[in-house]
Chains A and B, each alone.
Chain A
């Protein structure tokens, strides 16, 4: 099923690491690239991309399917063979940041363009003679490395329940398919499947897929980044730390309207990875007021976070509140920051480690801007576990791929049900169900045919 992907259809993907740089690029390559993007692009003067000169830049908007402006963009059109891949290429320069890029990509994938495989632009560039001979080995390494990693990553990303649920549904679909196929290939031994039964089975799986699709859509880390809480007593330098992170990392400030708490959040990008720092207003506010930190409040902030950055004034002896709160860090993903290194050292790293054994401690000076690099390094390591490189593109892509596969499966199941309802023969229903099972197999990395045949023989007593 995946093999068919190597035929030159039109592909798209986000081509720049998320959040790095002020501009993000969605690249589209293939014979349908220009005509498809033209359908969703509007320039102020209404000029069509089909008419755009080669290598020209067009300013305008990408429109949503209801015709609203999705993002303000600059689009470049490069016709074959004068492009990176030597195919027709359209590059959409969007506002950087996760959400706009994702939205534009989603819009494009909704138009029948396929998500590019890892390394596929480069591969096409090579296959079309764009890259020179000496680069062949490098391309092969790239494919092997990216695909293997991509698959491992894909599996890792599927949280336990999600993955289990997809496997179960695929299994059910294979069971249905085996029942249909057994009846077709062994009509004298196996009874026909009842149409109502088939419809309700499809409906059941469709419902579950829909629910799953909804949860996958809110895939937390991907869409929202790592939920990060900066916690500490008043005047330890939380605000300066935040500003330091923001300044160095070209953060995007977003306000989320309509939420009950009027929270302001900020996203900082560290090593291509988005961290969402909640309650930034709170951080700034408590820095100005001399009062005891609300332990309860700190606890609730910690509970909602994927990552806790606990800030201590390292130039004065450790406070009782800190001792109490540090103990609470056990078992959480956290980093302890000893700030104000420029003012002297009154708290040792060992003191902290004694209180919370497995949490790394970093000494910094927010005012003198020292220690930031090692803090960032530790933060990223804490989140990824140091096992895989979760930065940027690959993570995004695999996730989007899963969603696409779920969406395709859902469409196929709806079609299967409709085919049944229309009274068309089971052979045609089988085509749709097979499609849905293949879609789910793309996520789990399984191919279909052998599984169906095995199931026919396992479930049905055949042989005259």
Chain B
């Protein structure tokens, strides 16, 4: 029997990052995929980034993952969103070439030393004495592995709905799997049923773009990866059109034929990504909804009709599409569908993504109830890293909510009871001014380097970049400007009040209306490019707010540091409310901080736990003395 250190089940966005991280940490790693030609597939919109998600991509990049780099190499339309809404929520988003992304990832997997890519369907996880030891394939092959990462996506008992028609299938005409669902249940895991969907794909030649609005990409697109340079690149536009009253009429008349409202779908769908029928039912006053037409690749006619995800019957889908301006003669390449699948209730995992009951068994990606390629990739790299640390017998890497969106993501998954596929949003992060996409490298590169996932050279570059930013800020703090008529005129020309005393560059930059270019006009010399200037501006302008968040982080950390031993039986802790004891027993939080985020655990319960901990600590000390 072939032996591996780490076995990864599934080569989607989670599986690929997990396998690469484990292999790069020096472990012999195998990765199994249902279909070799669909490695790192994007069955929905081939879009990476956006608020919260761009932050995650930059964080994965800082840890040494691939998603950022491949996105930059394969992007065909890039935009920076939220440029005016604040530095913390500014977010890069890119449309990528779907095929090319998959191909690049496959090349990386194939070439990675110590990594073995194999097509094959894993049907069983092999467990003995509470510890994982390998996997069994449908072909009756067995592979030995000290760690297993289950990252098999939305394939378990997956059921596709197109109107009144329902059939077993994975996304994008892939296979459904049954074995693993059954096996996980046998191993004692509790599975839940979620739902998601995707819109139709059209043949570009059939569309009339004259009736749509062109949305060009950025002139000088930035990249996700620290290693990518800002450069002028060829890009494709996206297009915007909208639904009409005719569209809404057709949908309303056929509502009972949708799988969603017809009652066929039992799974719970995401609120942030509703089908067009949900939008029309829930917002009846809205006369029109946006439809984005987005290219799927450089050399394909396939385009993605964003905004019209649906579970309507096939012929109605066509009717709906043809009621949209520009799509009158649309030819479909693929139909829209809704898909239901099994996933794992993620409260069964530790913050390291290891199972609470089976040692060495990790879970990552959509199987944990998340949604999105970025969220999957983030869990993947963390699961891969923690396999490595598990094998090295070291403490797992658990990023804090104050450190990374990845920390928020995983903590939310394992702590809060999720009711829909989990998608990252900036509003889920408490300290988002600290967790910006522009400082992900500063926050996390250290981990990447220490784990051996980031080269020393790359780490040095990150360090010197931030050193330069600090120096520049010091320089601004000492650069002085004296009031004069010229200065007054210059300030007034940009709507800024004149100065009446000597001020520093830093003081001036704190004014909302003053940017680097105004400072330059006043005589401040700098070699900084636009990206670095933005960093300095952010640190200076929002210093007060940043400081405020740092202070609340200190309070947060104090609570996170109070560890709850995992042997506590909360039913026996006197003074806890019944609901709290139940929830605490189910989630088994590792700290008081985590406990406080569980719905149903009140501040009074936390207080009781503190007293309990202290009480126990003293009893231990007392018994030590008597021994």
Contact = CB atoms under 8 A, between A and B. Distances in A.
Q: Tell me whether A and B are bound partners.
A: yes
A461 B51 contact: no
A108 B596 CA distance: 29
Contacts of B548: 431
Contacts of B307: 463-464
Contacts of B428: 449, 453
B86 A7 contact: no
A143 to B, nearest CB: 5
B167 interface: no
Interface in B605-627: 606-608, 610-612, 614-615, 618-619, 622
Q: Which of A123, A189, A452, A463 has the most CB of B within 10 A?
A: A463
Contacts of A427: 85-89, 432-433
A88 interface: no
Interface string B549-573: 0001011101100000000000000
A137 B614 CA distance: 11
A123 B611 CA distance: 8
A133 B619 contact: yes
B230 interface: no
A197 interface: no
B234 interface: no
A187 B599 contact: no
A140 B575 contact: yes
A428 B86 contact: yes
Contact of A127 (B272, B556, B614): B614
A143 B575 contact: yes
A39 to B, nearest CB: 21
Q: Which 6 A-B pairs have the closest CB atoms?
A: A427-B86, A425-B86, A147-B604, A140-B575, A136-B615, A457-B271
A148 interface: yes
Contact of A4 (B82, B272, B273, B555): B555
B513 interface: yes
Nearest to A185: B425
Nearest to B286: A461
B322 interface: no
Given A133-B622, A186-B272, A141 B575 contact: yes
A212 interface: no
A184 B51 contact: yes
B408 to A, nearest CB: 11
25 contacts: A4-B556, A5-B603, A133-B618, A136-B615, A143-B575, A143-B611, A144-B608, A184-B85, A185-B52, A187-B81, A187-B82, A188-B81, A192-B84, A423-B512, A425-B86, A427-B86, A427-B87, A449-B428, A450-B599, A453-B427, A461-B283, A461-B286, A461-B289, A463-B272, A463-B274
A115 interface: no
Contact of B559 (A6, A127, A187, A423): A6
B279 interface: yes
Interface in B108-154: none
Interface string A313-344: 00000000000000000000000000000000
A456 B51 CA distance: 15
A288 B89 CA distance: 78
B395 interface: no
A184 B85 CA distance: 7
Interface in A444-460: 449-450, 452-453, 456-457
Interface of B: 45, 50-52, 81-82, 84-89, 91, 271-274, 279, 282-283, 286, 289-290, 292, 306-307, 309, 425-428, 432-433, 512-513, 541-542, 545, 548, 552, 554-556, 558-559, 574-575, 593, 596, 599, 602-604, 606-608, 610-612, 614-615, 618-619, 622
Among B88, B427, B432, B433, find the residue whose CB has the most chain A CB atoms closer than 10 A: B427
Contact of A425 (B84, B426, B554): B84
Given A123-B607, A181-B426, A462-B274, 9 more contacts: A6-B559, A126-B611, A140-B611, A185-B425, A186-B272, A187-B51, A188-B292, A425-B87, A453-B428
Contacts, number: 145
A3 interface: yes
A301 interface: no
A116 to B, nearest CB: 13
Contacts of B541: 424
A15 interface: no
B85 A426 contact: yes
Given A126-B614, A147-B607, A462 B272 contact: yes
Nearest to B601: A3
Contacts of A7: 554-555, 558-559
A27 B607 CA distance: 21
Interface of A: 2-7, 123, 126-127, 129, 133, 136-137, 139-141, 143-144, 147-148, 181, 183-189, 192, 422-428, 431, 449-450, 452-453, 456-457, 461-464
Contacts of A431: 433, 545, 548
A440 B309 CA distance: 39
Given A189-B290, A424-B512, A427-B86, A137 B608 contact: no
A194 to B, nearest CB: 13
Nearest to B238: A188
Nearest to B280: A461
Report which residue of A183, A184, A464 has the largest number of chain B beta carbons within 10 angstroms of its beta carbon. A464
A133 B615 contact: yes
Task: Please classify the interface of chain A as helix (H, G, I), strand (E, B), loop, or mixed, using the class held by over half of its residues.
Answer: helix
A184 B612 contact: no
A139 B613 CA distance: 13
B265 to A, nearest CB: 16
Nearest to A136: B615
A186 B272 CA distance: 9
Contacts of B604: 143-144, 147-148
Contacts of A181: 425-427
B538 to A, nearest CB: 10
Contacts of B612: 136, 140
A455 to B, nearest CB: 10
Contacts of A129: 618
Contacts of A425: 84-87
Contact of A461 (B279, B426, B432, B611): B279
B272 A3 contact: no
Contacts of B271: 457, 462
B518 to A, nearest CB: 14
A139 B608 CA distance: 9
Nearest to A189: B290
A20 to B, nearest CB: 27
A75 B51 CA distance: 54
B252 to A, nearest CB: 16
A426 B86 contact: yes
Nearest to A143: B607
B315 to A, nearest CB: 24
A462 B85 CA distance: 18
Contacts of A192: 84-85
A183 B433 CA distance: 17
B606 A6 contact: yes
A144 B622 CA distance: 26
A456 B87 CA distance: 21
A452 B604 CA distance: 24
Contacts of A187: 50-51, 81-82, 85, 91
Contact of B603 (A137, A147, A188, A450): A147
A137 to B, nearest CB: 6
A137 B574 contact: yes
B603 A463 contact: no
Contact of A457 (B272, B433, B606): B272
Contacts of B433: 427-428, 431
Given A3-B603, A423-B512, A456-B427, A463 B279 contact: yes
A162 to B, nearest CB: 23
A183 B611 contact: no
Contacts of B91: 187
Contact of B611 (A136, A148, A186, A452): A136
B274 to A, nearest CB: 5
A431 B88 CA distance: 12
B426 A185 contact: yes
